[in-house]
Structure formats: structure tokens, C-alpha cells
Amino acid sequence: MATAIQDIPLKTIDGQDDSLAAHEGKVLLVVNVASKCGLTPQYEGLEALYRKYRGEGFEVLGFPANDFGGQEPGTEEEIQTFCTTKFDVDFPMFSKVVATGPDKHPLYKALTDAVPSAQTTGEDMRAKLKNYGMTPTEEPEVLWNFEKFLIGRDGDVVARFAPSTTPDDPALVGAIERELFASE
């Protein structure tokens, strides 16, 4: 059963038309990613999650965004090369999007409307950003690079995790496993 979020037009990082409907029936982890961020090493953990659970119907979907500190300045080709050579990323990557603010991509509008606040706290990260003289966003806006949205097999957004929640965090892994194995 398709949901409105599944019908939002997307572009893959190599320019092909796509949508979440093309991933129907899978558990999806949508992540706004960046190549020059302190959290960039999370690519490794995201790829590990993808490799561990893809046989169970799980996908990580990476959406490069340059919203925060200009930490994703590259072209799609540069981003793709970086991800594959530095982190051996094999999960689906998409064209750059705007993840926050008035020009945010319709996917990110739908994600933040569906789950306006993160299940894990981003307060530690908000404090760090303030210490660096930056003004963090307020919920429901995405806080920073590597915020994670979990979408169930039915296409509903079921959880949201702060950027500082690492891919191996038990709260995130537990939520993914609950969605993957709920019907078993």
C-alpha cells in the first residue's frame, strides 16, 4: 500500500528517477549525509547496518545535504566517489537535497511532519553547536548532518534519531530489528 511519502519524486545520485515506492515493502533508514562533517565516519556504521540487514529487507538511503556548515560542497560525482572510495558505500545514494528551512525537499518536509522530534536526544549536540558559536535548529527541523528517519515496511515513518545517535546505538538497532521482524 503506497503512502503519500512514497510518491514524492526523488533522484538517485546518478540522476535516475526514483521514489520510496520503488523500495516498497522494505524497512528504510533515511539519512541526510555529508562528506566533511565530524560525523562523516558514521558512513562506515551505516554501511555495516546495510550489509547486516539488507537480506532481511532493509535499506539505508543516503541524501547528501549542504545545509549545515557547508559540509557537503561537492558535486554528485564527487560525493559518490568519496563514499565508495573512502567508506565502500554500497547502499543507495540520492542527489543532494535541502533538509531544513523554507526550501527543504518535500521528502524532508514529510519526514519532519510525520515525526517532529527525535526519539534520542540531540541536546548534547545542540550544546556543542552553541559552544562553536552556531545556532542550532529547533525541532521539528533536522538538527544536523546524519539525522536518521526509520520507515516501516508499510511506508509509515516510525522513528527519528538525533545525528549523534551512532548506527550501532542499541536504540536504533532495536528499532530497525522491531520493524524487520515484527511480522515473524
Q: How far apart are CA 28 and CA 180, in angstroms?
A: 10
Question: In this structure, is the dihedral angle defined by the CA atoms of residues 21, 163, 45 and 63, taken in order, positive or negative?
Answer: positive
State residue 94 phi and psi, 5-degree precision. -120, 170
Catalytic residue among 10, 27, 31, 37: 37
C-alpha cell at 12: 538517485
With cell 503506497, the residue in question is 2
Q: Clarify whether 37 is annotated catalytic.
A: yes
CA distances from 28 to 10, 23, 107, 141, 184 (A): 15, 8, 13, 20, 18
Distance, in Å, from the CA atom of 139 to the CA atom of 94, rounded to the nearest integer, reads: 24
Provide the grid cell at 132.
562553536
Which element (helix H / strand E) includes 45?
Answer: helix 42-53
Residue written as grid cell 550501532: 168
The catalytic residue positions are: 37
